[in-house]
Structure 1
Amino acid sequence: QAEGSQADGKAGAAGEAGSGRAGEKAPPRLAPAHLIRTVSLSVQVKDTSKALDAARTATENAGGYVGDERTSRDAEGHERTEVTLRVPVERYEDVLDELEGAGKLLRREAKAEDVTDQVVDVDSRVKSQRASVARVRELMDRATELDDVVTLEGELSTRQAELEALLARQAALKDRTSLATVTLSLSETPVKHVEKKEDEDPGFLDALAGGWDAFVTMLRWLAVALGAVLPFALVAALLALLWLRVVRPRLPRRPQAPSGQEPGAGD
């Protein structure tokens, strides 16, 4: 009997322990967060065209798409491209790693906006509005008076318009939370110019280059001077030709004295 009582006691204790574990509350499940992710990247690359093609490929392979794109050139001729990428949040980090690895990362700014409350609120309002539209339609099916039908049609139009607005907002939230927005700015690496040291003596090639520059400069100035004088020289030559061919032959000639008589011999 003692052994039986001990067994009963152990069984009772085990039952109490089991019931105690069953009575424990499981931790509450957290609702999935709805985040709007945006990131801005500035990357310096050797070739913006190739880097842009690689960014397009990475985005499309991840299931996203390419949005707006702007390309410009600075005073030195370097290209700068800014493009908007929409990437699924599941592949968001993978695509960012690939974009950052295309060159030298200059800037990264990421933001995450929690819109879970908005999503839950809009979903609830959509559900309620659909039920409201269904009730109005049921009333229209039962209505027999013309005035009632007209009134219910107006009410149905109003509630359907409200439902469509809620559905549009719901779709916009879904798009912004399911696809991250990446603004990628690509700029070309500036070419470094090698500066000559001041204490470095000029060599033969430097002297030759300097002499050639001086010679070309002299020829340029001579050409400029010749171009400035040439119009006046042409006018002077034309006037001289006119004098020799037209004016001079028409001038009266002075009489010549006889060869055997000197001036003043008759006196």
Structure 2
Amino acid sequence: MVVRRVTIQIAATDVRAAYLRAAHLLSQAQGEYVQDSALTGSGTQVQANLTLRVAASRLPEVLDQLRGLGKVDSEQAQGEDVTEQVVDTDARLRNEQHVETELLKLLESRQNAPLTEILQLRDKLSEVRNSIERLTAQRERLGGLVDLATVLVIIRPDTEPPPPPPPTNYFVKAISAAWERSLRFLADTVATLLSILVGGIIWWALLVVLIAILVRHRRRRQAE
């Protein structure tokens, strides 16, 4: 038997709205309830605190819903095994109830006993019954802690500033930059083609001159 306690701190854009939503996450059919709550401050100083008693079987579900209320700053979970305490309390309670039964039988059989003896028996019976009440309350408290987990919720304002909006001429600048890059690319391409073309013309001119020289030389030899 484990007692579960969780503390979760949340930063919310609207603390009051998150506070109300957290309180409405509980299921009365499961015996869940708000143990205590407080909403203090105003503006950026507002803060909400709630102590929720949540059915142990629904704890993961409720925690997921709480995380959705805002940005989780921190989350801590603890578990305490109270099995020995429960077993010990049950044993003591049964023993006291047995003593109560024996005292009642003794009083019934000693109706003609001296008054002082009867008063002593009644005093003892009163002590035993007080002990039974304390042990019963302790057992119920332990059972309640096991059945219903305790969730402490702390909600603060999310004061982180939003990202700045883009400048009004952002798209104009982006288009201008893209146009300039395109023009530079086009100019580089044209320059490369021109350099190739000019270089090719020179080589073709040299080839034509060389062919002309060879043709003239051949004609002279034929003429001789």
In the superposition, the TM-score normalised over structure 1's length comes to: 0.56
- CA-to-partner distance for each residue in 1:121-157, whole Å, 9 max, x for gaps? 0011111110110000000000021233222111111
Counterpart secondary structure, 2:8: strand
Higher Cα radius of gyration: 1
Aligned to 1:101: 68
- Cα RMSD between the aligned structures? 1.9
Higher helix share: 2
Judge conservation of contact 2:44–2:157 (CA < 8 Å) in 1: no
Residue type of the alignment partner of 2:100: V
Residue type of the alignment partner of 2:94: K
**Structure 1 segment 41-120 matched on structure 2, within 5 A:** 41-60=8-27, 63-73=31-41, 77-120=44-87
Q: Report the Cα distance in structure 2 between the residues aligned to 1:66 and 1:97, rounded to whole angstroms.
A: 18
Q: Report the Cα distance in structure 1 between the residues aligned to 2:134 and 2:109, rounded to whole angstroms.
A: 28
Q: Report the Cα distance in structure 1 between the residues aligned to 2:83 and 2:64, rounded to whole angstroms.
A: 27
Aligned to 2:197: none
- CA-to-partner distance for each residue in 1:66-112, whole Å, 9 max, x for gaps? 122222337x6342111111111111111011101221111000000
- CA-to-partner distance for each residue in 1:148-184, whole Å, 9 max, x for gaps? 3222111111111111111121111112111111010
Aligned to 1:208: none
Residue type of the alignment partner of 1:176: L
Judge conservation of contact 2:3–2:149 (CA < 8 Å) in 1: yes
Structure 2 residues not aligned, in runs of 5+:
165-224
Per-residue deviation, 1:193: 7.3
Q: Report the Cα distance in structure 2 between the residues aligned to 1:63 and 1:151, rounded to whole angstroms.
A: 43
Count of matched residue pairs: 161
Counterpart of 1:139 (choices 98, 106, 113) is 106
Which runs of at least 4 in structure 1 moved beyond 4 Å after TM superposition? none
Judge conservation of contact 1:44–1:189 (CA < 8 Å) in 2: yes
Q: CA distance change for structure 1 residues 193 and 98 in 2, over 3 Å: closer, same or farther?
A: closer
Q: Report the Cα distance in structure 2 between the residues aligned to 1:160 and 1:78, rounded to whole angstroms.
A: 51
Structure 1 residues not aligned, in runs of 5+:
1-33, 196-267
Judge conservation of contact 1:78–1:190 (CA < 8 Å) in 2: no
Q: Report the Cα distance in structure 1 between the residues aligned to 2:124 and 2:34, rounded to whole angstroms.
A: 42
Counterpart of 1:192 (choices 161, 167, 190) is 161
Judge conservation of contact 1:81–1:187 (CA < 8 Å) in 2: yes
Which fold has the larger relative contact order, with Cα–Cα distance below 8 Å and residues 6 or more apart in sequence? 2
Is 2:124 aligned against 1:130? Answer: no
